[in-house]
Structure formats: structure tokens, C-alpha cells
A and B are shown apart, each in its own frame.
Chain A
Amino acid sequence: MTLLTILIDGIAYGMVLFVLASGLSVTLGLMNFVNLAHGAFAMVGGYVTVLLMQRLGVPFLATLPAAFIVAAVAGLVLERTLYRPMYAKSHLDQVMFSIGLVFMAVAAMKYAVGSQQQIISLPSFLLGRFDVFGVSVGRYRLFVIVLCGLLALALHWGFVKTRFGSRLRAAVDDARVARGLGIPVTALFAVTFAVGSGLAGLGGALGVELLGLDPTFPLKFMIYFLIVVTVGGTTTITGPFFAAMLLGVADVGGKYFIPQAGAFIIYGVMVALLILRPEGLFARSRS
């Protein structure tokens, strides 16, 4: 039965990764912008939850919207001020710029909160495990799976069914033509960037228990976000979703069955996939 437990742990882990990385995939597809600082917004969300709980005694569930809002506002402000001039520059410049932001965020967080691992005490109704058809499932993991699953459905619906979503897809496919058709791509992007940052913040908050949280978080998980995005492709929501699931299950399973290999498997799989399917595993080919 351990096998199923690992599977469920992996799915929960993958769900958090999806929420963390979904914003990145859209911004990458939309503006072709390599934002390695995406994890910094996730870290902000995580620390909002930790600090609200530790310092002000706010209950866990109430901190989640706050984590989303603070990260989204941070994203909106930075997009308006710093990111915008970078869109026209080369990928290399964008990478250097966002690495600079990551370095700043890491050091600033060390200065403000200290470099120790943060621990939160979850409310009692999310603690412990219970049996579902003989499989032992952590309550918190189930909570994460349900919440993130609903979120993924909502995102998918928003992306596929709404007017906003169809404009967004048009802009991702070809920003120039979309602009010519009168779609306000710049405003669209600002909103998407803010929502993506907010989702990262929410993912960071949910991930404190599963991924851990310390100031090096943006660097540590940068590669995971990139894997989700590159493997999943940028043209759909479902691509990154399945990529995140795959990554979560492979990582948890790999660390359980072959602990000495560490993260080796994950990076190996990523490099291999990038070679074989540079457009993403689930992406339809764009020519």
C-alpha cells in the first residue's frame, strides 16, 4: 500500500508545483520573457503565511488569500516598473536581470527574517492521516490536492471558456497580430503577470509544509519551475499541469526508492526531454 501513498504524496507535491509554476508558463508564452525570479514571488507568499501565523496569530486558512494578494501586488508593481523595459531585450539580458532580482530577494529575506528553515503549525483538522480504502492519506495532502485541483479546473475554464482567456490565447499565439486586432496585449500581460505572481505566492504558502521554506527557496526551486514550463509547454494549462504531476510523482518516488540518486533523475529527465521535445512534451507543434 505504500506505493499508493507515495503516489498520492507525489500528486500533492505536483499540485503545489503546478500552482507555483502556472503563472510562469503563461508569462513565458505571452511575452517570451525568461523570468527566473518567479520563485521570489512564491517565497514572498510563503513568508506572508509564516509571519502572519507566527507574529499575529492569524489562522492558516485566512493567511492563504493574503499570500495571494501580497504576491500579486508585488508582481503588479514590479511588472509596471522594472520588468516592462526588459521585454525588448535579449534572452540573456532578461536572464541576468531576473537572476539579479533573485539574488536581491534572497539576501533581503535573509536580512529581514533570518536564514533558518521556517516551520508552521497547521490547524488540527489538517493534521494526521486517515484511511481511504485502506490507503493511508495525509489530511493536509488531500486538502492540497482538492484545493489545487479546483484551482487548476478554474484556471483551465478561465483559459478556455472566457473572453479574457481567448484573448490571452490569441496573444500567446501571436502577440503582434493580436495587438493589430485591438487586443490590449500590454494590459492583458500586466493582469496575467499579477495573477501568476499571486498564484506563485499561494503555492509558496501551501508549499511551506511540503517543500520547506528558507531564503534560498527561489534558487532551490527555480529548476523545478523551469522543468514544469519547458516540459509542459506554454500554450495550454493542461500541459504544465500534467508536467507538474509527472515531476511530483517522479521526484517523490525517486527519492523514496533510489535515495542515493537524489535529484539526479529529475534533472536527467529534464535534459532528455528538452533534447527530444524542445517544444514541450504536451505542446502541439508550432511552426
Chain B
Amino acid sequence: MSTADLTARVRGSLVVARKWHPAEFVVWVMAAAAFVLFPRQLLLLNEIAILALFALSLDLILGYAGIVSLGHAAFLGMGAYTAGLVALHVTADPLVGLVIGMAASGLLGLVTSPLVLKGNDLTRLMVTLGIGLLMLELANSLGWLTGGADGLQGIAMGKILGLFEFDLFGKTAYAYSLTVLFLLFVLARRIVHSPFGLSLRAVRDNPLRAASSGVPIPWRLAAVYTLSAAYAGAAGALLAQTTQFVSLDVLDFHRSADVMLVLIIGGAGWLYGGIVGAAVFKLLQDWIAWFTPQYWQFWIGLFLVAFVLGGREILHGGIRALVARVSGRRGGGS
């Protein structure tokens, strides 16, 4: 087969992969329908959308490039604090804050990427953990800028595009977060189904082979790490803007652990894992907090342990069987 043939085939397969599956439309229609169906739950839905975006950002590095991270909260926090500070000192326009928050987090990602990309899984886990804790400590000690343990208070947001004002019930907040999530999702979808995304997966599956086929591994990984950091920054900015408050909690270790759990629930490497996982995680957390507000962490922990010890196979196997049955019935058995 000639090179031209191969290029054409790869290009063709990418075009096929880029096509939207009908089930994907269902997900987004449902997300939009939730706006009308659950008018009392909009604040929770907003949290789900933001967590989904945060998990999507982790999926970009974990699911597609195989980079493990235990300090992803660093970027969430960077975006949140930047957006909060922009709102306090520069402009109340949410979109400006969002863009600056993303840029700041992306920059942090770019700067820290050489540290993270060196070494094996174990070193990466520890370096990312260290960077996450460094950021928390930094925010804590720069009290004059970040408000220290009190957090950033008195953030007042302007109208989005000068039209939509934030309200108490989270109407604007959910619509805003969902729109940002959707746009960034479409972008991420396009990126992972591009030649660039393909090369990332090659690196994930076999770095040695990828390197010898001419993939510039450090550059590709640095690029996706920066992109992922910017996505996490967007999630942080949304969090700061819709809750109008930023505290040290955004940088806390449990944020990094939670988002990992979200992605593990939903499954990494297919972009929808973050959305599914975020919905399951938040509803679970909400439900557990309802009957045991103080000790919900215990049940999250138990869930994690059970999940990793064997629950995942059961859960994902069950879903796969269900999907196979449904699609089999629709397609008349295949």
C-alpha cells in the first residue's frame, strides 16, 4: 500500500469517527431538557455541568494521553481564583473572566508540563500531587491576594453578553455552564478525532513505537497537558462565577481525588465518561449527604474501594450488555 493510500484511509477513518452517533444527541437533548424538567434542581445541575467539564479536562490527559494526575485541582483552583480576582478588580463581565481564567490555567499547565511529563506513572502521581499541594499552600500564604482561609468574598458578576443576569435559582448559571461545557466538548471531540488526537493515543498505547514512527512525544504531551489545564481552568472559572465565591476548598486534595473517581465511574477515553460520571457522582453525593451529611465521605470511599476491587467490571459489563440488547433490538439483531 502506498503512503497516499494509507493517508487516505486514516483520513477516512477519522472522518467516520468524527460523525455524531444518534445517542450523542440524546445526551445533549436530555441535558438541555433538564433545564425545563427540574427547575428546582438547577443549582445541582450547574454543579454537575461544571464537574463534567472538570472531568472532561482530566479525560483529555488520562484517557487519551495516559497521563495520570493526582493534582488536577491546581488548575481548577487557578481558574477559579483568576476568574474571581478578575471579577473583583478588573471587570464583572463573565466571559472575559472565563477566557482569562482559562489562559492562566493553561499557562500554569504549560509551565508545569516539563515537570510532569518526565518519569513514570509513579513519579507523575507524586509530582502532580506535590504541585497540587504547592498551589494550595501558595493560595493559603498569599493572603493579601486570595483572602487566605476566608476566600474571595463579594464577587459580583455582570450580565452574560449584557443580556442574562445571574439569579438565585441557578437558571442563568446552568444555561451558562451547560453552554460552555457543550462548546468545549465539541472542540475536544474535534481534537481527539484529529491526527493530533490519533498521535496522542499512539503515545498512550506504545510510547516506544510512537517515538520511532516520528511522533514528537514531549511536544504532543505538553500540548495536551496545556489544553487540559485550560479546560480545568474553565471549570474553575465557571465555579467561581456561578457560586460568586472562591475558597481554598477549590485547591483541596479531595477535588483531585473526586474528579478521578468521576472519570473512573464514567470510564476514561470516550469523552462522555466525565459527563456520565459527574451526574452519577453528584446524585450519589447528594443522596448520601441527605441521610448522613457528616459522613458521606465514608460511602464515597466504600464506593471507590468496591468499584476498583471488581464493581467496575460488573457495572460496565452490565451497561455494555444493556446497550447491546437495546441496539440489537433496534437493528433487528446484529
- Chain A residues within 8 Å of B, Cβ to Cβ: 32, 34, 82, 85-86, 89-93, 95-97, 99-108, 110-111, 219, 223, 226, 230, 260-264, 267-268, 270-271, 274-275, 278
Contacts and interface: CB of A to CB of B under 8 A. Distances in A.
Interface in B84-131: 115, 118-123, 125-127, 129-131
Contacts of A278: 118-120, 123
A271 B115 contact: yes
Contacts of B127: 271, 274-275
Given A223-B130, A226-B129, A264-B138, A95 B70 contact: yes
A84 to B, nearest CB: 10
Interface in B132-146: 133-134, 137-138, 140-141
B26 interface: no
A36 to B, nearest CB: 9
A264 B137 contact: yes
B301 A100 contact: yes
A267 B304 contact: no
Contacts of A106: 297, 301
B145 to A, nearest CB: 13
A110 B131 CA distance: 28
B130 A271 contact: yes
Main SS class of interface, B = helix
A99 B119 contact: no
A229 B257 CA distance: 21
Given A92-B121, A99-B257, A264 B305 contact: no
Contact of A267 (B62, B68, B133, B260): B133
Contact of B137 (A34, A108, A226, A267): A267
B302 A100 contact: yes
Interface in B249-304: 253, 257, 260-261, 264, 294-298, 300-304
Nearest to A101: B305
Max count, chain A CB within 10 A of own CB: residue among B68, B294, B297, B307: B297
Contacts of B119: 274, 278
Contacts of A223: 129-130, 133
A97 B126 contact: no
Contacts of A271: 115, 127, 130-131, 134
A226 B126 contact: yes
Nearest to A95: B125
26 contacts: A82-B309, A85-B309, A86-B309, A95-B68, A95-B260, A96-B264, A99-B301, A100-B302, A100-B308, A101-B301, A103-B257, A103-B300, A103-B301, A103-B304, A104-B302, A104-B305, A107-B296, A110-B294, A111-B298, A226-B126, A261-B141, A262-B140, A268-B134, A271-B134, A274-B123, A274-B126
A151 to B, nearest CB: 26
B301 A263 contact: no
Contacts of A219: 253
Contact of B295 (A91, A92, A110): A110
Closest 5 CB pairs of A and B: A100-B304, A103-B301, A107-B298, A104-B301, A100-B305
Contact of A89 (B118, B300, B303, B308): B308
Given A97-B304, A101-B301, A102-B301, A263 B123 contact: no
A223 B119 CA distance: 18
B141 A275 contact: no
Contacts of A105: 301
Given A97-B308, A271-B134, A275-B127, A108 B298 contact: yes
Contacts of B122: 32, 34, 91
Given A96-B261, A104-B301, A264 B115 contact: no
B298 A104 contact: yes
Contacts of A89: 308
B91 to A, nearest CB: 31
Given A263-B137, A275-B127, A97 B68 contact: no
A264 B139 CA distance: 10
Given A91-B121, A99-B304, A275-B118, 11 more contacts: A34-B122, A95-B68, A97-B304, A97-B308, A111-B295, A226-B126, A230-B123, A230-B126, A267-B134, A274-B126, A275-B115
A101 B308 CA distance: 11
Interface centre among B129, B264, B294, B305 (most CB of A within 10 A): B305
A268 B112 CA distance: 13
A104 B306 CA distance: 12
Contacts of B118: 275, 278
A95 B304 CA distance: 10
Nearest to B252: A219
Interface in B197-233: none
B188 to A, nearest CB: 21
A260 B62 CA distance: 35
A92 B68 contact: yes
A101 B297 CA distance: 10
A264 B133 CA distance: 8
B309 A97 contact: yes
A262 B125 CA distance: 23
Nearest to B138: A264
Contacts of B120: 278
A242 B305 CA distance: 34
